Amino acid sequence: MKISATAWALLLVSSAIWGASFILMKRGLEVFPSSQVASLRIVLTFLCLSPFLWSSLKQVKREYWLPIFGVGLTGSGIPPYLFTLAQTRIDSALAGILNALTPLFTFLLGVMIFGLVFNGRRLLGVVFGLLGAVCLILFNGDGQFLSAFSSTDDQWYGIFIVLATICYASSVNLIKKYCQNIPPIALNTLAFLMISPWAFIHLSTTDFLHILQFKEGAYTSLGYIFILSLFGTAIASILFFHLVQMTDALFASNVTYLIPIVAIVLGFLDGEAIGWMHFVGLGCILLGVYFSSKKVPS
């Protein structure tokens, strides 16, 4: 399958937006609890998409509603809670790095459940990308070995991001298998229509309004969450759904190979250290993108 310039542009733009989302979550968590940040993200995203609701309802037949619910739940309903919970204990750069596990699970779920044809070159690309992520996790910037999941109890919160990547992989495969012909805006809007009621109910049972009214910096943090919702969820999801429909699930999931680059750079600008091992890991990740997207000779 030939990958067009438009597909590559969508891949890069989506990566940049989602790579910045970890810092935005971090800013939101400075004031609000993790579950509130996640619920706000879902509710605000639906409000941003609501102008498209009527047209989306007219465009999509009811037979697609169940797979759309699956896409919404696994792609946008569960992961925000897992990511924000994890980021209460781990930094944003590590969160972005762990997110690179998504293509591995996309490949495995695609082969085992969704009928994806096995391809050795694409598997090699997944392996290279995963190797790059592992290098970034297990070694510090100076190349010294550091077991992320045994150094402190807090690092075990990274497991929540691993679970989120499995959810993302399920969503990607569901889009490709069942939602191929649904317009991306309609798909995203209806997905959030189905998952936002729970987020709104949860938010209404918390002390969100009290925090917003009395805690210093609450409106600033809310502004960061709004930016996260508009760009990191609404716009980026539409671009990503379009990318999946243009290419395939595995190539589209490569967006998570590039996300660590953005996450690490922004983490560095926010005071986190970066060394030569980070570049080794990122090199492996980019090599993985090359192999997994390269057209296979017929």
> At which residue do the structure tokens 């438009």 appear?
6
Q: Which residues of 40-63 are buried (b: 16+ CB within 10 A; e: fewer)?
A: bbbbbbbebbeebeeebeebbeee
**pLDDT band at residue 298 under the 50/70/90 scheme:** very low
pTM: 0.84
Average pLDDT value over all residues in the chain: 85
The answer to the question of residue 65 being in a domain is yes
Dihedral, CA atoms, 107, 171, 262, 9, nearest 10 degrees?
A: 90
pLDDT for res 140:
62
Percent of the chain with pLDDT over 90: 42
Question: Poorest-confidence range of 21-35, 57-71, 162-176?
Answer: 162-176
* Confidence check: pLDDT of 213 > 90: yes
Angle at 98 between CA 136 and CA 178, to 5 degrees: 140
**pLDDT band at residue 167 under the 50/70/90 scheme:** very high
The answer to the question of residue 115 being in a domain is yes
The answer to the question of residue 217 being in a domain is yes
Q: Looking at the 3D structure of the chain, how many domains does it have?
A: 1
The answer to the question of residue 223 being in a domain is yes
The answer to the question of residue 298 being in a domain is no
Closest among 253, 259, 274 to 97, alpha carbons compared: 259
The answer to the question of residue 213 being in a domain is yes
Residue range(s) defining the domain that contains residue 253: 5-293
The answer to the question of residue 210 being in a domain is yes
Question: Poorest-confidence range of 76-90, 225-239, 259-273?
Answer: 259-273
The answer to the question of residue 99 being in a domain is yes
**pLDDT band at residue 135 under the 50/70/90 scheme:** confident
Percent of the chain with pLDDT over 70: 87
**pLDDT band at residue 26 under the 50/70/90 scheme:** very high
pLDDT for res 71:
95
**pLDDT band at residue 244 under the 50/70/90 scheme:** confident
